[in-house]
Amino acid sequence: MKTTPAASLFTSFKLSRAIPCVRPLRRDFMIQSTLDAGVRRIEYHPMVALDDHMIRTDAIVLDRDDGRYVIDFVDARPLEDPRAEGLLQIGFEQRCSGIVAVSAADVCREPRLSAAREVWFHAGMTVTSDDRAQILDVLDCEGPIPLRSLQALAATRRDPVQVVYALACEGSVDIDLRAGLDGRAIVRGGSLGLGGLRYGT
């Protein structure tokens, strides 16, 4: 049986299971989708039945605020599904609103690409209960605020920016990455992941 190396698998709080991400472009898209507050859940559908036989699709379905969408990586479709017929079938089966075409240029658009990579670099960082409480309590009291204001208000033992990035990777906070990661980036309490927890590491 063929197995996928652990280093090629992607996991996040929006996924119910790890999915293969051998191509860097696909991995970057998964990171960006995980950090996007408008994406509620990410699903993976590796195969679909089409014309009485199974074909590989490696399909990603995003459950977003504006509907459910199958993602068509137009620059990297599976060889078994060159015209994206399998994606269309998955769209019907999963009751999706439509298919979203995603190109390499879309994923590599700056400053979002670099910002998402910088935040995701902190995905493995352990956040202490005190630092977590400091950040989340400030957001509870102040609401959405710029990153530079959060730095001034939160008395964390570790760099508050790093703490915010780590909390974003687990869904406890959301950061608007569309304009990059300068001090004006808006941080708000997360609606997913561990946003309701205040204590524990």
Asked if residues 171 and 193 have their Cβ atoms less than 8 Å apart, the reply is yes
Q: Quick count: other Cβ atoms within 10 Å of Cβ 156? A: 21
Tell me how far apart the alpha carbons of residues 67 and 138 are, in angstroms, rounded to a whole number: 31
- Beta-ladder partners of 62: 42, 69
Q: Quick count: other Cβ atoms within 10 Å of Cβ 2? A: 3
pLDDT digits (tens, 9 = 90+) for 10-37: 999 999 999 999 899 999 999 999 999 9
State the pTM of this model: 0.88
- Kind plus residue range of the DSSP H or E element containing 103: none
Q: What is the pLDDT of residue 4?
A: 53
Domains in the chain: ranges and CATH: 6-107 (3.40.1350.10), 112-189 (1.10.10)
